[in-house]
Copies of this chain bind each other. A is one copy, B any other.
């Protein structure tokens, strides 16, 4: 499978496989069958075999996949064989929660800097990461080789924050602001929209649609 042909849905499944393999590695498992991996991931084994065969991972009959080799391969494919540095715009509760969670770098991403306009926050630390004046965003991003930015500012400031991030040369952005944003063509903008997720639950509670037995992907 050539990388550029991999869809986002497939990428998301590769992330899921990697997470489940990490669990197996922690338990000390050396190999796993596609059936067992399927059971852990709540997917069917044919889907897993198909995805993995696409990039040359063929399980050995009676043995399955080698856990460490498959982990390394998935990390390489997803670009996770190195740690990506993150900047977070917005040192509110959400920005702080993310800084704390991703401060260590153990999850493949490391928060290097948090930014805010609030002078009472600037210079303080959150999860061990310093909060900087947003005025210095571009210079700190460039100095720290930061490649990923998170938008955790109020909705009304989200578009201008996005434009500041783009102007600093960052091309991969995770947005938490519940508003539509317009990004440049060479920018990948993923939005995590909590309000829409909740409203979708509200719609379900009205008696519409089916529940899902399986972790939805």
A residues sitting closer than 8 Å to B (CB atoms) are: 3-4, 6, 8, 11-12, 14-16, 18-20, 40-42, 77-80, 84, 86, 92-94, 96-98, 100-101, 107-109, 147-148, 171-174, 178-216
A171 & B205 in contact (Cβ 8 Å cutoff): yes
Interface SS majority for chain A:
mixed
Q: Is the CB of A179 within 8 A of B19?
A: yes
Nearest residue in B to A209 (C-beta to C-beta)? B4
Q: Are A198 and B148 in contact (CB under 8 A)?
A: yes
Contact A3 B211, beta carbon cutoff 8 Å? no
Interchain CB contact under 8 A, B197 and A183: no
**Contact between A211 and B185, CB atoms less than 8 A apart:** yes
Within the assembled complex, what's the spacing in Å between the Cα atoms of A9 and B20? 28
Q: Are B195 and A107 in contact (CB-based, < 8 A)?
A: yes
What would be 6 A-B contacts, judged by CB atoms less than 8 Å apart? Answer: A107-B195, A171-B204, A172-B204, A173-B201, A180-B215, A182-B215
| Smallest Cβ-Cβ distance to A176: which chain B residue | B194
